[in-house]
Structure 1
Amino acid sequence: MQRVAVVFSRNMAFLSRVNMVGERGSGAGKGGGGGGSIREAGGAFGKMEAAHEDQYFYNLQKEQISKLKDGLHDEISFHEEQIKRHQEAINRHKKRITEMDKE
């Protein structure tokens, strides 16, 4: 559920940027919107705050992708181990059949 919220918030941020007249963080009424007193004031601090916000979401997304990859690697390892166990069972059964045929 958290991943959906992050994706939704990133999409909303993108949509709000598309509709802006000015740069993000350039002040209220100039496309920066009301993002707090620093961003409303505009100027370098407003732009810096907008950049920090973008960096935060970028890092968050990178961390989520990394966790997803780790989880997939774990699943792959699990399935490879299962394949190994099944192959060993198949070999045991084939060996039993061969032994039965010899009798």
Structure 2
Amino acid sequence: MALRLYGLKSLTRNVQLIGCRMMSNDLGGGAGKGGGTGGSIREAGGTFGKIEAAREEEFIRRLQKQQLQELRRHLNVEVNILEKEIKSHQAAIQRHKKKISEIEGKTDTD
């Protein structure tokens, strides 16, 4: 009887520890963070899980920073191209206006 109670007490204590571990709010604190298990290291929790979570977060931040820089660079190139097209169109408009005024000038004198 005493062994049964000790085994039951041990089992309930382990369940309490597991429940506490699964409900942890820390990244890398155990399974279920971010919608998935995240692999065996993060699933186990503890220091290694926290380190791995920090590395993943750093990688994501670096990737986002790189993507933003590339987007800025691309948009700057596109703006430069469009500004050149604007200048080209303005020059064409001036040429056409000049031709129109020349044609109107010739027809008025005729």
TM-score w.r.t. the length of structure 1 is: 0.65
- Note the alpha carbon deviations across 1:47-98, whole angstroms, 9 max, x for none: 0100101111111111112222222212211211111111000000111122
Matched residue type, 1:47: K
Question: Where in structure 2 are the equivalents of 1:1-103 lying within 5 Å?
Answer: 21-22=23-24, 23-28=26-31, 34-103=37-106
Identity of aligned residues (%): 52
Code of the aligned partner of 2:104: D
Equivalent residues, number: 83
SS at match of 1:26: coil
Amino acid in the other structure paired with 1:39: R
Q: Which runs of 5+ in 2 are unaligned?
A: 1-21
Aligned to 1:9: none
CA distance in 2, matches of 1:62, 1:85: 35
User: Aligned letter for 2:58?
Assistant: Q
2: CA distance between counterparts of 1:93 and 1:34? 67
- Structure 1: stretches of 5+ with no match in the other structure: 1-19
Per residue, is there more helix in 1 or in 2?
Answer: 2
Cα RMSD between the aligned structures? Answer: 2.3
Distance in 2 (alpha carbons) for counterparts of 1:96 and 1:28? 75
TM-score relative to the length of structure 2: 0.62
Instruction: For 1:56 and 1:93, locate their aligned partners in 2 and report how far apart those are by CA, in whole Å.
Output: 55
Larger Rg: 2
Distance 2:38 2:104 in 1: 80
Counterpart position of 1:6: none
